[in-house]
Amino acid sequence: MARVFVTGGAGYIGSHVVKLLGEKGNEVMVYDNLSSGNAGSILYGRLVRGDILDFEKIKTAMEDFQPDAVMHFAAKIVVPESVREPLKYYENNTCGAVSVLKAMRECGVKKIIFSSTAAVYGQPEKMPITEDAPLEPVNPYGQSKAAVERILRDSCLAGDFGYVALRYFNVAGADPAGKIGETKKDATHLVTMCVRAACGKRDKLFVYGTDYTTPDGTCIRDYIHVMDLADAHMLALEYLLGGGKSDVFNCGYGQGYSVQQVVDTAKKVTGVDFPVEYAQRRPGDPPELVADSAKIKQKLGWQPRYDDLKFIIKTAWEWEKKYNS
Ligand SMILES: NC(=O)c1ccc[n+]([C@@H]2O[C@H](COP(=O)([O-])OP(=O)(O)OC[C@H]3O[C@@H](n4cnc5c(N)ncnc54)[C@H](O)[C@@H]3O)[C@@H](O)[C@H]2O)c1
C-alpha cells in the first residue's frame, strides 16, 4: 500500500483514480483548488484546498503527508480556450507542474505520475500513434503539456525523480458503480455533451467540422473508459515504486470512432434523437488521433476491461440521468 498525493483529485479523472486508490487500501491526500473540481467527488482521503502555483501551501501539505508518490492531474484542459488565452495554460499547466516538482524535491518525494495527453502529438503522419512519434502539438494546451514532459525528462536525467507520463487519448464514461462521474457544468467532452443533450440538460449538440479528411468528414478519436485509465495509474504506481525506469505510455484502445459515429451510438444507447448542429471546425483540432497501446500492455500488463463504446456511453448516461448539480 502506498501514500499518494493527488493534485487535481477532485476533477473528473482524478476522482475516479482516487476511488480506485482508496478501494485498494492506499492512503490519499487530494490537493485541488476546486476551480473545475468537485469536493463531493472525492470518495477517499483528505482534501487540502489549494493552488499548485501556491508553492508554500503545496510544500506544507506534502511535508505534512509524506507521500511515496505524486499523481499530478491538476491542469486546465480546454483546447479552444488555450488558443485564446495561451498564457493562462502555460502558467497553470507548465509553471504549475514546476511548482509541484519543486515541492517534491524539497520534501524528498521521488516518484511522479503525470497526466499527459494525445495532444502532445499534434497531427501525426502515422496512425495508430506510437510513443516515439515526434511531439509537435498544434495548440497551446498540448504545448503546455509537452513542455512538462521535457521538464520531467531533464529532471529525471539530473537524478531528481522517476516518472511515468501517461498520454491519455479521449477519456469518457463514468464509474460503473454509479458513485461518481463528470460534474463540470461546462464540460466540453463529446460523450458528456451527447448524454447531456439526450437528457435535456443541453438544447443541442454541436459537431465542429464536417470537412476533415476522414471517411465521414468528422474528427476521429480513441475513446478510453475512465476506469480503464484508473487501472493504468495503479499499474504505473506499482511499476515506479517497484523501481521501474522512467517512461511514457499511451492510454487508448487503438480503435478510432468518428464524432458522427459517437453521436449515432449515443442516440441508440440513450434512445433519444437529440438535436445536432453542424458547425465550423474549431482551431487546434487534429483530424485523427488513435493510440497504439502495445507498449503499456506489454510493459505494465494493462488489460482494458471496458473497451466498448456502447458501454462507455451507457455509464456516462446512467450517471448523467441521476446527477443534478
Ligand atoms: N479528459 C480528458 O479526456 C483528458 C485527455 C488527456 C489528458 N487529460 C489530462 O487529465 C488531467 C485531468 O483532466 P480532467 O478531465 O479530470 O479535468 P478536470 O478539469 O475535471 O480536473 C482538473 C482538476 O484540477 C484542478 N486544478 C486545475 N488547476 C489547478 C491549480 N492551479 N491548482 C490546484 N488544482 C487545480 C481542478 O479544480 C480539477 O479538480 C488533466 O491534466 C488533463 O490535461 C484529460
Checking DSSP bridges between strand 3-7 and strand 69-72, what pairing results, if any? parallel
Q: Which grid cell sits at 268? A: 441508440
Q: Give buried/exposed letters for 273-293 (b at 16+ CB in 10 A, else e).
A: ebebeeeeeeebbbbbbbbbb
| Residue 289 scores a pLDDT above 90 | yes
pLDDT recorded at residue 325: 67
CATH 3.40.50.720 location in the chain: 3-172+223-251
> What letter represents residue 69's amino acid?
A
Of 72, 68, 60, 74, residue with least CA distance to 26 = 68
pTM for the whole thing?
0.98
* C-alpha 257, offset from chain centre: 18
Is residue 27 a contact partner of residue 1, using CB atoms and an 8 Å limit? yes
Q: What is the largest CA-CA distance in the chain?
A: 55
Q: Ligand 1, closest atom to CA 170? A: 3
Q: What is the mean pLDDT of residues 185-209?
A: 96
Question: What pLDDT was estimated at residue 283?
Answer: 76
Percentage of the chain exceeding pLDDT 90:
95
> Can you point out the beta strands (E) in 154-243?
162-168, 170-172, 205-208, 220-221, 223-225
Q: Ligand 1: which of 115, 121, 262 to mutate, judged by most atoms within 8 Å of the beta carbon?
A: 115
- CA dist., res. 284 & res. 292, Å (int): 22
Q: What is the pLDDT of residues 216-244, one digit of tens each?
A: 999 999 999 999 999 999 999 999 999 99
Q: What is the mean pLDDT of the chain?
A: 96
Active-site pick, 44, 121, 141, 208: 141
User: Is 141 noted as a catalytic residue in this protein?
Assistant: yes
CA 8–ligand 1 middle distance (angstroms) = 6
- Coil, strand, or helix at residue 246? coil
Residues framing ligand 1 (Cβ under 6 A):
7-8, 10-14, 32-37, 51-53, 73-77, 92, 96, 115, 117, 168, 170-171, 184, 189
- Residues 211 and 206: their CA atoms lie apart, in Å, by 15
Buried b (16+ CB within 10 A) or exposed e, 230-242: bbbbbbbbebbee
| Residue 5: strand, helix, or coil | strand
Predicted confidence at residue 157, as pLDDT, reads 93
Average pLDDT over residues 175-200: 96
Query: Of the given ranges (115-124, 173-182, 280-289, 302-311), which has the lowest mean pLDDT?
Result: 280-289
Give the model's confidence band at 324: pLDDT under 50 very low, under 70 low, under 90 confident, else very high: confident
CATH C-level class of 190-221+254-291+305-322:
alpha beta
Q: Which of 73, 78, 93, 226 gets mutated to test ligand 1 (max ligand atoms within 8 A of its CB)?
A: 73
**Residue 286 predicted with pLDDT over 90:** no
Q: What is the pLDDT of residues 87-128, one digit of tens each?
A: 999 999 999 999 999 999 999 999 999 999 999 999 998 999
CATH 3.90.25.10 maps onto the chain at 190-221+254-291+305-322
Helix-helix angle 259-270:190-198, to 10 degrees: 40
Return the pLDDT at 125: 85
Q: Which CATH code, of 3.20.20.100, 2.60.40.10, 3.30.70.100, 3.40.50.720, is assigned to 3-172+223-251?
A: 3.40.50.720
pLDDT tens digit string along 58-85?
A: 999 999 999 999 999 999 999 889 999 9
